[in-house]
Chains A and B, each alone.
Chain A
């Protein structure tokens, strides 16, 4: 079975969880033998911008030592064969061009999403 994971919500508890929960779930299932790819839509296309730094959270004497590193998560996933797609229209609408994207992320037009979906047994939209 091949599954396309669609992620549209961005930075949902990423600081508390030290990752995006759906990207984490995807990696865990991939490690368990699952066959999955990821489509980033809406605000989550911002995950494809390289060089983000979410470190520095502190409250009193408490300091976060392991902030989320979503760029590393994307690279790790692609290194294991998970394809990462991002909707180009959503990038453009947010003023995000082709420069500065995490290497290996595949851009596609919104109109090409149905064709992409055809390549999967199931599509899970979170």
Chain B
């Protein structure tokens, strides 16, 4: 990864709880789309974003079955960004904080997500043009 084109993001929010997750993914998609190599350090609840057992469901209130509802799943957003970066010849490195995974039992991540530590985050940030951290509030 070239330092001049690499951006690192650290994110703490779990899925389905606030607008921050969607906002972060918009930023990630924009960065990938503009040809940046992207690192993500998922800290605390954010390790559930690429959690493989996420499942779509029907929604009786909406009057739609599971297929019609097509409920968004953040694990699919992670997979889509991994694929998009790959198609563009870029890098998209998603690191889940290992201890955060352990305490939540969130070890089943989609392929392409790797386990890491704050040392990985520091290394990614040190080798990036800039870093954006988005905490939970």
Q: What's the Cα separation between A3 and B131 when bound, in Å?
A: 10
Contact A126 B119 (CB under 8 A): no
Q: What's the Cα separation between A34 and B16 when bound, in Å?
A: 33
Closest to A125 in B: B133
- Measured between beta carbons, the chain B residues less than 8 angstroms from A32 are 117-119, 122-123
Contact B133 A21 (CB under 8 A): no
Q: Select A122's contact among B43, B123, B125, B136, beta carbons within 8 Å.
A: B125
- Measured between beta carbons, the chain A residues less than 8 angstroms from B43 are 21, 25
Interface residues on B, range: 10 to 19
Q: What's the Cα separation between A25 and B126 when bound, in Å?
A: 15
Contact A29 B121 (CB under 8 A): yes
Q: Select B125's contact among A3, A31, A125, A126, beta carbons within 8 Å.
A: A3
Smallest beta-carbon distance A34→chain B, Å: 4
Closest to A3 in B: B125
Contact A21 B130 (CB under 8 A): no
Contact B118 A29 (CB under 8 A): yes
Q: What's the Cα separation between A28 and B43 when bound, in Å?
A: 13
Closest to B41 in A: A25
Binding site for A on B (CB under 8 A): 10, 12, 43-44, 117-119, 121-123, 125-126, 130-131, 133, 135-137
Binding site for B on A (CB under 8 A): 1, 3, 9, 12-13, 21-22, 25, 28-29, 31-34, 122, 124-126
Sample (23) of A-B pairs whose CB atoms are under 8 Å apart: A1-B125, A1-B126, A3-B125, A9-B137, A21-B44, A25-B43, A28-B117, A28-B118, A31-B119, A32-B119, A32-B122, A32-B123, A33-B122, A34-B122, A34-B126, A122-B125, A122-B130, A122-B131, A124-B10, A124-B131, A124-B133, A125-B133, A126-B135
Query: With A3-B125, A9-B137, A122-B130 given, can you name 16 additional A-B contacts, CB distance below 8 Å?
Result: A1-B125, A1-B126, A28-B118, A28-B119, A29-B122, A31-B119, A32-B117, A32-B118, A32-B122, A33-B122, A34-B122, A34-B126, A122-B125, A125-B135, A126-B133, A126-B135
